[in-house]
Amino acid sequence: MTNQTKSRFQWSPKIIFTIAFFGFLFGLYFIFTRKPAPTPGLISVSKIAREKDDLIGKFVTIRSKYIEKLGPTSFAIRKRKFFIKSKPVIIINASGKVFDLPSEKDTEVQVTGTVRQLDIPKLEKEFNLRLQDKAYEDYEKATAIVAQHIALAPEVNDIADKPAKYYNRRLALTGEIESIKNPKMFTLDEDDLLGEQDLLVLNPTPAMAVNNGQTVAVTGVIRPFLLAELEKDYKFTWDSGLRKEMELQYKGRPVLIADTVYPSRISTLD
């Protein structure tokens, strides 16, 4: 190849910058538009409304932020797109635990329970509930979920921003495992571009092995990191080096005490 031909293929700084810039834009587009496959068992509100006859009696999990309180132990969830509302799914809290709905409209709630038709006398008898009939007058024969588990489902970085509002509350979180310290300890990353702090997860009774970079769903309770209390309450035994490292890195920060960890690619389904 002659020198003249070679000169035609020289990469000028301007060409290199242009290619890099468009590559960066493509990367941003991919990050903000990708839609991971949903976790098995996680069903959209619209699917429940659409296929309720096939789902009666099935154990399902849903997430939504479009919530309307009905009574002390119940609320309605809808799918909302632009100004159109879908038929509601009525959530009956049969968990035996009081659940306070989030005050922020952008916080999702995760519900796990059995799909049923809303028949107040039958549900009261079967699940030993006391429901106020007047609260359900407008929802006769609606689809209901009798919930065994209800949890807030905020973003991981919401907890880092305002940890006190989540302390001692049961949460359902999804994120990417950033770092594994040992089988009972890892950090959860929101996987965004803002450089938010990772959330420490302590799993006292791990039921599955996890890997760096794996996307998982975790349910549990948020607490402030107070080393002595955590060691006492959950029988953690850490060597002096790890204790010192954790005390320096996490003291006063939120920590999630997990009761379940499972593979997940949850996306917003509503």
Over 80: is that where the pLDDT of 7 sits?
A: no
Residue 63: which pLDDT band, with cuts at 50, 70 and 90? confident
Q: What pLDDT, on the 0 to 100 scale, is given for residue 39? A: 42
Residue 17: which pLDDT band, with cuts at 50, 70 and 90? low
Determine phi and psi for 244, rounding to 5 degrees. -65, -45
Q: In whole angstroms, what is the distance from residue 179 CA to residue 185 CA? A: 9
Q: In whole angstroms, what is the distance from residue 270 CA to residue 268 CA? A: 6
- Domain formed by 156-263, architecture: Beta Barrel (2.40)
Higher pLDDT, 38 or 7: 7
Nearest residue to 165 via CA among 224, 105, 229, 246: 224
Q: How many CB atoms lie within 10 A of CB 186?
A: 27
Tens digit of each residue's pLDDT (9 = 90 or more) over 218-243: 989 999 999 999 999 999 888 999 99
Annotation: CATH topology of 45-153? OB fold (Dihydrolipoamide Acetyltransferase, E2P) (2.40.50)
Residue 198: which pLDDT band, with cuts at 50, 70 and 90? confident
Give the DSSP per-residue string, 136-200: GGGGTT-EEEEEEEEEEE--HHHHHHSGGGGBT-EEEEEEEEEEEEETTEEEEE---SS-PPPEE
Over 80: is that where the pLDDT of 69 sits?
A: yes
Q: What pLDDT, on the 0 to 100 scale, is given for residue 130? A: 83
- The sign of the CA dihedral 67, 70, 75, 77 is negative
Label residue 260 exposed, middle or buried (CB < 10 Å: 0-12, 13-18, 19+). Answer: middle
**Structural domain boundaries in the chain:** 45-153, 156-263
Taking all residues of the chain, what is their mean pLDDT, rounded to a whole number? 80
Q: In whole angstroms, what is the distance from residue 196 CA to residue 157 CA? A: 6
Q: What is the mean pLDDT of residues 179-190?
A: 87
Domain pair 45-153 / 156-263, same fold: yes
Over 50: is that where the pLDDT of 83 sits?
A: yes
